[in-house]
Structure 1
Amino acid sequence: MQHNISKGEFTMHTILKNLTQQMEFSSDLKKNIYLFLTTNKYPETANHCIDVGTEARRIAIMFEANHEAAEIAGWLHDISAVIPSIDRLDVSRQLDIDILPEEELFPMIIHQKISKVMARDIFRITDPEILDAVGCHTTLRANSTLLDQVLFVADKIAWDQSGEPPYIEELNRDLKKSLAHGAFAYINYLWERKETLKVVHPWLKEAYEELKEKVHKV
């Protein structure tokens, strides 16, 4: 997907430039992302991103989505892990990212928006579908695209914690019905436990309401 990577003149924000100091990137995007995360001392995130890319490709093929774009989105989705949660609001302001009240309360969740900017500015991704999927991979959003849903589900299947995800059986079962059913299975799992969440992100709420109506029509 070379056409999605811009190689022209580009000015990068100092915050992001500092994260890439002394790194020699090649023409291999996957290796560059892995190098970026491991050099910044996030090897587990590097492995998770590669795993999500593989899973996203598999799901994209299942549902006839763009599997190359899905894999790239998977590699990129958590690159903002290199920025500690405590710094994310400040970094978001410096990068001119819109911050919602829920993200002020729980800065971890804004990492999806930071990853989107980093994908564009560090790795020169220009495909808006890839960038938008990265930018909503944790919460999903209303009017989500096929690629949004592919990445969202892939991230929940290839999760970054130990053991089996507690929702995995239901998600896999519903994924056999449709991609929207699979995405809703996870959102519904969260919704049933929303009192235990730090915040309920408005994008998640919108995605829940939209997908609930969609899957119940089928």
Structure 2
Amino acid sequence: MHSIFKPLTEHIHFTGDLKTDIQQFLTLNQCSETAKHCLDVGAESRRLAGMFNADPVAAETAGWLHDISVVFPNHARIDAARQLSIDVLPEEEKYPMIIHQKISKVMAEQIFHITDEGILNAVGCHTTLRSNSTLLDQVLFVADKISWDQKGTPPYLIELKKNLQESLTHGAFTYINYLWERKETLKVIHPWLADAYEELRVNVQLV
């Protein structure tokens, strides 16, 4: 485990139960609201996995883990990413919130000993999605957008749920298209998001 994680873990007694340990890790590092959000996303991921024949355990696990990097505040994320040898894109340097997905992936592996590449990769793209996204990637991506961590109801939620009746890809594209239609208002357009938009735009027309 990288030394950057020591101050975040040295005061925690890990039980070996992943759900308990993630909740404890976030709560004891003053991120109790995120702990609740991760539980909610885990539950929603499991529900979507059942709808679309994904692995429910992997989906729930990815949901629990996806935002664990919130323990690093925005202003510290680029430095943390560089210490962890994570490739930092110009868009991430400009808007550090986005790089939390990559940091969560490393933390899931090094702190919580996750070895399943499918889970790690889903955690690593849950904010932006990516090209050639897997079933699990899309499950977590959509679950996070349904169980969002802001106040009120997501403005895209009704359309997203309606389009999920068509396919998971339709649901994922609903959120990406919602952003794309407002891209002039976004601080940055992450290249992974742009790639996912172009790919899913074609795919939903073929389904």
TM-score calculated relative to the size of structure 1: 0.94
Q: Which runs of 4+ in 1 moved over 6 A?
A: none
Q: Report the residue type matching 2:91 in the other structure.
A: E
SS at match of 2:105: helix
Is 2:107 aligned against 1:118? yes
Aligned length: 207
Q: Which residue of 2 aligns with 1:163?
A: 152
Q: Partner residue of 1:179?
A: 168
1: CA distance, partners of 2:166 / 2:206: 13
Distance in 2 (alpha carbons) for counterparts of 1:17 and 1:120: 15
Read off the aligned partner of 2:61 and give its amino acid letter.
I
The one-character-per-residue Cα deviations of 1:1-40 (angstroms, maximum 9, x if unpaired) are: xxxxxxxxxxx11111211012111121000000000000
SS state of the match for residue 187, structure 2?
A: coil
Output aligned runs, 1:84-103, within 5 Å.
84-103=73-92
5 Å-filtered alignment, 1:184-195, equals 184-195=173-184
Residue number in structure 2 paired with 1:43: 32
What does residue 19 of structure 2 align with? 30
Q: CA RMSD in A?
A: 0.5
CA-to-aligned-CA distance 1:47-90 (integer Å, 9 cap, x gap): 00000000000000100000100000000000000000000000
Q: What is the match of residue 14 of structure 1?
A: 3
Specify the code of the residue in structure 2 equivalent to 1:19: L
Identity of aligned residues (%): 68
For 2:141 and 2:11, the matched residues in 1 are separated by 33
Tell me whether 1:71 sits opposite 2:60 in the alignment.
yes
User: Counterpart in 1 of 2:134?
Assistant: 145
Structure 1: segments with no counterpart, 5+ residues? 1-11
